[in-house]
Amino acid sequence: MRVGIGHDTHRLGQGGPLRLGGVEIPHDRHLVGHSDADVLLHAITDAMLGAAALGDIGELFPDNDPANRGRDSADMLRRAYERVQQAGYKLVNLDCVVLAQKPKFLPYRDAVRARIAEILGADPSQIGVKAKTGESVGIVGREEAVVAECVALLEPTSK
């Protein structure tokens, strides 16, 4: 078994929607970044690459490469998982935390879990996602940024 950790931060800008875990959530702010800025999918990508010791998302998809401008993070995650599978591993489960002051995440949680499972060809029962506010302090609490963390467990592919 192999375990990996992922962490990411993206700034919030005016105007929605908020793209999180491959789902567009109605909100008055959006995440800013070179790609589509999906902070949760980026943390998941790094956790899975890390578990297989395959580097990180920035190495695979450099932000100075014009091909990655506005890029769909679901596509990056799918490609990263292909690398992981080529290295001889498959997903056991993910556990993720989204740190966002707003909006309330619970109504969207299962849609996000289903979307992540779809991207990875997994079952939603393998995908844990929960959310915390920033208690109105710090970059999360002041609604300056959204942070995501993820732990991924991989097991060897049986031959």
Q: What would the x/- binding string for Mg ion be over residues 26 to 65, using CB under 5 A? A: ----------------x-----------------------
Smallest distance, Mg ion to C-beta of residue 36, A: 10
What is the smallest separation between the CB atom of 107 and Mg ion, expressed in angstroms? 24
Cα separation, 30 vs 19, in Å, equals 7
Report if residue 8 touches Mg ion, rule: CB under 5 A: yes
Judged by CB under 5 A, does residue 71 bind Mg ion? no
Nearer to Mg ion, 8 or 149 (CB): 8
In the bound state with Mg ion, the residue whose beta carbon lies nearer, of 9 and 90, is: 9
What is the C-alpha separation between 68 and 72, in angstroms, rounded?
8
Cα torsion for 7, 32, 58, 151, to the nearest 10°? 20
Contacts of 4 (CB under 8 A, 6+ apart): 46, 47, 48, 49, 50, 51, 52, 151, 152, 154
Where on the chain is the footprint of Mg ion (CB under 5 A)?
Answer: 8, 42
